[in-house]
Amino acid sequence: MAKKRTTISRLSDKGGHPESAVTLGVVKKKGGSIVNLVTEGEIAIADLQKSGIIPVDIIITTILDQSERIKLDLSHLIRDGLITVALVFITLFLIIGVREALVA
C-alpha cells in the first residue's frame, strides 16, 4: 500500500522552473568530522552512479556544504595560533632575553 505524501520537495536550480525533487539530509555523528563526511558522501554517490544504482539522468545538487567553511575556519585558527605563539615569544624575548623566552 502506498504511503500518503506528507511533504513536497521542489528545487529551482539557477532560477529555473521548480521541479519535483528528493531531499536527503546528511548529518554527522557526535564527534565525527564534517569534512570527512562530505568527502565520503561524494565518493559514495559517485560509486552509486558508476554502478548504475543511481540512473545517469538523475541530477544531484548539493544545497548546503558546511565543510568548506569548516576548512577555512580551521586554517584561520591555525594561522592565528601561530601568530599568537610568535608574538608571545617576541614579547618575552624583548623583556627577559632569548634563553628565558625559549624556556617559557
**What are the tens digits of pLDDT across the range 26-44?**
888 888 888 888 888 889 9
pLDDT digits (tens, 9 = 90+) for 43-83: 998 999 899 898 888 888 888 888 888 889 999 999 999 99
- 36-39-37-13 Cα dihedral, nearest 10 degrees: 140
**Can you give the pLDDT at residue 104?**
66
Grid cell in block for residue 93: 624575548
Question: Averaged over 14-27, what is the pLDDT?
Answer: 82
**Can you give the pLDDT at residue 27?**
82
Q: Can you state the percent helix, strand and coil of the chain, rounding each to 5?
A: 55, 5, 40
pLDDT at 6 over 70: yes
Residue by residue, what is the 3-state secondary structure of 35-67? Answer: HHHHHHHHHHHHHHHHHCCCCCCCCCCCCCCCH
Nearby residues of 34 by Cβ (< 8 Å), 6 or more positions away: 28, 66, 67, 70
